[in-house]
């Protein structure tokens, strides 16, 4: 099995390692570990996450750490900001348009399980859609979920669930 990029080219070992935390400077990894160990102490955990980010800006492991911290702390507006950065980075790594609205299903191998980078893009877009909906930006969230379903026609990532939740919310508002 060979992992591929959005264009069907083999994924470099550096790209795979970056998604899995490889290529992370030792100091940044240490700060990530400290942040995890200090999770119950918000200010200290965030301080270590920011120090890790300073040492390895835009590294996927750092972005995922920040995203998860904000998400599980219920700080969804800050989580959305990280999701936007993740979306930009995922677009860059897949050679996609910066604006997710312009991405087309043929721009990457979105249907392949082995295409790690396009799948990462889809998961990031799902997170973005979910956060928009949770923060009350329903039009933006629905548009992103609809785009996700367009890119992932077999719905492996689960855009339909987001759209169904929105439909139930609209139906409840009508009653």
Confidence check: pLDDT of 30 > 60 = yes
Q: What pLDDT band is residue 139 in, cutting at 50, 70 and 90?
A: very high
Residue 88 lies in a domain: yes
User: What is the C-alpha to C-alpha distance for residues 68 and 70, in angstroms, rounded to an integer?
Assistant: 6
Confidence check: pLDDT of 111 > 60 = yes
Of 63-67, 103-107, 166-170, which gets the smallest average pLDDT?
Answer: 166-170
Question: Is the Cβ–Cβ distance between 13 and 23 less than 8 Å?
Answer: no
Q: What is the pLDDT of residue 4?
A: 43
Question: Is the Cβ–Cβ distance between 148 and 131 less than 8 Å?
Answer: no
Q: What is the pLDDT of residue 22?
A: 67
Residue 84 lies in a domain: yes
Residue 157 lies in a domain: yes
Confidence check: pLDDT of 112 > 80 = yes
Confidence check: pLDDT of 146 > 80 = yes
- In the chain, the number of structural domains is 1
Which is more confidently placed, 109 or 171? 109
Residue 4 lies in a domain: no
Residue 35 lies in a domain: no
């Amino acid at each position: 099995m060979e992992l591929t990029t959005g264009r069907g080219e083999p994924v470099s070992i550096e790209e795979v390692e970056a998604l899995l935390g490889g290529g992370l400077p030792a100091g940044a990894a240490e700060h990530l570990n400290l942040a995890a160990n200090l999770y119950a102490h918000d200010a200290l955990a965030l301080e270590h996450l920011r120090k890790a980010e300073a040492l390895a800006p835009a590294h996927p492991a750092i972005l995922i750490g920040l995203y998860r911290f904000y998400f599980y702390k219920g700080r969804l507006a800050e989580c959305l900001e990280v999701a936007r950065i993740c979306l930009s980075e995922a677009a860059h790594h897949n050679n996609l348009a910066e604006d997710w609205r312009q991405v087309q299903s043929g721009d990457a191998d979105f249907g392949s399980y082995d295409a790690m980078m396009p799948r990462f893009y889809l998961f990031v877009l799902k997170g973005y859609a979910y956060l928009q909906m949770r923060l009350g930006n329903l039009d933006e969230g629905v548009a992103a979920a609809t785009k996700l379903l367009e890119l992932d026609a077999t719905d492996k990532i689960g855009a339909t669930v987001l759209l169904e939740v929105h439909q139930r919310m609209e139906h409840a508002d009508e009653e």
